[in-house]
Chain A
Amino acid sequence: MTLPTRALYRVAAVAAILAVVWIFVPRFGTESNLINLLRQAFLLALVSTGVSLSMLVAGLDLSIGAVAALSSCLAATLIVQGYVGPGILAGLAIGALAGMLNGIMIAKLRLPFFIMTFSMMFIIRGLALTYTQGTSIHGFPRSFTWLGKSFLGPIPMPVVVGAVVLGLLHILLTKTTFGRITYAVGANAEAARFSGLAADRNLIQAYALSGVLASLSGLIYIARLNAADADLGMMWPLEGIAVAVIGGIAFSGGVGNILGLILGGIVMAVVGNCVNLLGLPARFQDFFIGFVIILVVLIDHVTQKRGKAVK
């Protein structure tokens, strides 16, 4: 089955969920709620971009939350002193560096991605905590907090940033050599190597980009919270996986469209939002998200099977 048809199924499924929720959940359709929902959805999609890139190359980047914490804490130090631009650049550079280290160890030294990124999660989180000593950094200038707090017309700035980033990533993955190699490496790294593709370089680039995206998400979060601390993003790897899986990125690598993350983000945000609006305690959220993950993938799996000729 071609990808567009499958993507259409996914969009239709999410639209159906939204329609049902819109009808049955009171106050869901109000403007302020929808704007909140949109912001939440795009923040989740943004957090998930790093994990998704690593999943596309048949890996998994568990260090994204820690990388976001370290880079945003270091950036925050500069930003608080008024150096907004240099702060942001430094943050992104640290993300790139951490990601590149992941990539080099995985591609060149053949460490399993799990061991590498899991260990990296500890190392980077430890460095972040050592740096802040458990305190938080706050008091950012307006010129920085607009990244998280301001609006473009009625649209919150994180949504704009998220949309731009996802759009650029989509172009990068579908229209460039980097993108083609990424999918080839994810589908079969060995075959990609033997056909002369620079698979190792691609892996390093993908993990470096994952680090940059983690830092960017971190920066937007601290701009929104107006505070940076080393505990940022503890659950990001798991949340990112959830968004990616719902969005149609396959664990086995080489399959999935980055724009699917928007759907994944919307579904996750809607679940949280509905639990809230229905007056249920927040604790119901995890249960429903777990359920929705299996359900969505199951539906996808069934429709996919029907589309294929029986093997």
Chain B
Amino acid sequence: MRGGGLNDMARATSRIGSFLSGPVIIILGMILLFSLLSEGFFSASNAVNIIRQASVLALVAFGQTFVILLAGIDLSVGAVMGLTSCVTAQLMLSGQFHPILAALCGLATAALCGLTNGMVHSLLGLNPFVPTFGMWGMALGAALIITEERVLTGFPGTLRVLHDGEFVGLPAPLLLVAAIFLLLHLFLRATPHGVATYAIGGNEGAAKLSGIRVRLHKTAVYTFSGFMAGVAGILFLARSNAAQAIDTIGYEFDSIAAVVVGGTSLVGGRGGVAQTLAGVALIATLRNGLNMVGVNLYLQLVFIGLVLILAYVSENQDLARFLRHLRGRPAEAGATEA
């Protein structure tokens, strides 16, 4: 500390600077705005509400983050979430499975879906859109078939503690998300496997040449994404206390949006779960705030779209370049991001 005060300060400022990325600034701005416009928004109970609402999206988006870091995409997660909750609910209803065992079976199903995605993608070399989109159809179909298109209810409420429970005064979903977040963050930063994820996403050929077992790694990541969709599906089941195949459709695009708005690049190799957490918080705060302020349900959709664009622009576009474009100067040579 001694003698290095200025340096320390500069470092601290730059750290704050990097922390204050586009999404975080927008979240802070929204909190300010919504607090002024609505009385109930800035309160502990509403914060808990937002966390409960965001937890499912956070979990599925964590898995999606890994896939996108590999420059891949997983379109199956929404359907896999539905399948997981339907399998779990159906097994609980059968009466022969303890709820925890049923949940484990659901998770195994989800991981199996992910494993299939990963194997078809990495072993056969198909563009990940195709196997994961095919899996979307098959998982949704399987869920519809086993539930016979009904809403499953009336099973024991054992799992509800995951969503409604509290531990040392903190909501259970917060603890669940925080624990998984820390694990994944450390995994990406501090283990060779985490580094390999970035390496493959940055340059697959180079990663292969430097001895990373790319196919195995990819398969593992898609399996993990399926598994996380499963965890999110269980939490969704715990929240709604009912299971329906189509309830979670839409999470595939929501999760991709959360990941990308947070600042993880679809081109691969750049980003992380911390960024995803910011993206999820942004979407959840926005949805909750619009509700609290009493914006018309239909107009909310318009606002969500606008803020998503704004958040991405604030994060990734140099304002000067933005204005230059508006004035119609020719584009700089830079790839149109995939």
Q: Chain A: residues with CB nearer than 8 A to chain B?
A: 58, 62, 105-116, 118-127, 129-130, 133-134, 189-190, 193-194, 200, 203, 238, 241-242, 245, 250-252, 281, 283-291, 293-294, 297-298, 301
Q: Tell me the residues in window 241-288 of chain B with beta carbons closer than 8 Å to chain A beta carbons.
A: 253, 256-257, 260-261, 266
A113 to B312, CA, bound (A): 12
> Which 10 pairs from chain A and chain B are nearest by CB?
A290-B137, A287-B141, A126-B301, A122-B305, A123-B305, A283-B144, A290-B138, A126-B302, A286-B141, A129-B298
- Chain A minimum-CB-distance residue to B117: A294
Does B60 have its Cβ within 8 Å of any Cβ on chain A? Answer: no
Does B170 have its Cβ within 8 Å of any Cβ on chain A? Answer: no
Q: Which residues of B contact A124 (CB under 8 A)?
A: 305
Q: Which residues of A contact B144 (CB under 8 A)?
A: 283-284, 286-287
A201: min CB distance to chain B, Å: 11
A45: min CB distance to chain B, Å: 18
A178 to B301, CA, bound (A): 34
Indicate if the CB atoms of A130 and B302 lie closer than 8 Å: yes
Indicate if the CB atoms of A123 and B142 lie closer than 8 Å: no
Indicate if the CB atoms of B309 and A110 lie closer than 8 Å: no
Indicate if the CB atoms of A287 and B145 lie closer than 8 Å: yes
* Secondary structure type dominating chain A contacts: helix
Q: Which residues of A contact B309 (CB under 8 A)?
A: 105, 111, 115-116, 119
Indicate if the CB atoms of A245 and B126 lie closer than 8 Å: no
Within 8 Å by CB of A251, from B127, B253, B301, B335, lies B127
Q: Which residues of A contact B322 (CB under 8 A)?
A: 109
- With A189-B335, A283-B145 known as contacts, the answer to whether A112 contacts B302 (CB < 8 A) is no
- With A112-B338, A114-B266 known as contacts, the answer to whether A190 contacts B333 (CB < 8 A) is yes
Does B181 have its Cβ within 8 Å of any Cβ on chain A? Answer: no
Indicate if the CB atoms of A297 and B130 lie closer than 8 Å: yes
Within 8 Å by CB of A106, from B130, B253, B336, lies B336
A283 to B309, CA, bound (A): 36
B36: min CB distance to chain A, Å: 23
- With A126-B300, A200-B331 known as contacts, the answer to whether A118 contacts B133 (CB < 8 A) is no
Q: Which residues of A contact B297 (CB under 8 A)?
A: 129
A88: min CB distance to chain B, Å: 25
A273 to B186, CA, bound (A): 50
A130 to B302, CA, bound (A): 9
Does B166 have its Cβ within 8 Å of any Cβ on chain A? Answer: no
A189 to B256, CA, bound (A): 23
Q: Which residues of A contact B303 (CB under 8 A)?
A: 126
Q: Which residues of B contact A190 (CB under 8 A)?
A: 333, 335
Within 8 Å by CB of A125, from B136, B141, B145, B301, lies B301
A230 to B137, CA, bound (A): 25
Supply 13 further A-B pairs (C-beta < 8 A) apart from A284-B141, A293-B133.
A106-B336, A110-B337, A114-B257, A115-B261, A118-B257, A123-B306, A124-B305, A126-B302, A129-B301, A283-B145, A284-B144, A286-B144, A289-B137
Within 8 Å by CB of A291, from B138, B257, B299, B337, lies B138
Q: Which residues of B contact A130 (CB under 8 A)?
A: 296, 298-299, 302
Q: Which residues of A contact B120 (CB under 8 A)?
A: 294, 298
B77: min CB distance to chain A, Å: 13
Indicate if the CB atoms of A114 and B124 lie closer than 8 Å: no
Q: Which residues of A contact B13 (CB under 8 A)?
A: none
- With A111-B312, A119-B309, A122-B302 known as contacts, the answer to whether A291 contacts B134 (CB < 8 A) is yes
Does B118 have its Cβ within 8 Å of any Cβ on chain A? Answer: no
Q: Tell me the residues in window 138-180 of chain B with beta carbons closer than 8 Å to chain A beta carbons.
A: 138-142, 144-145, 148-149
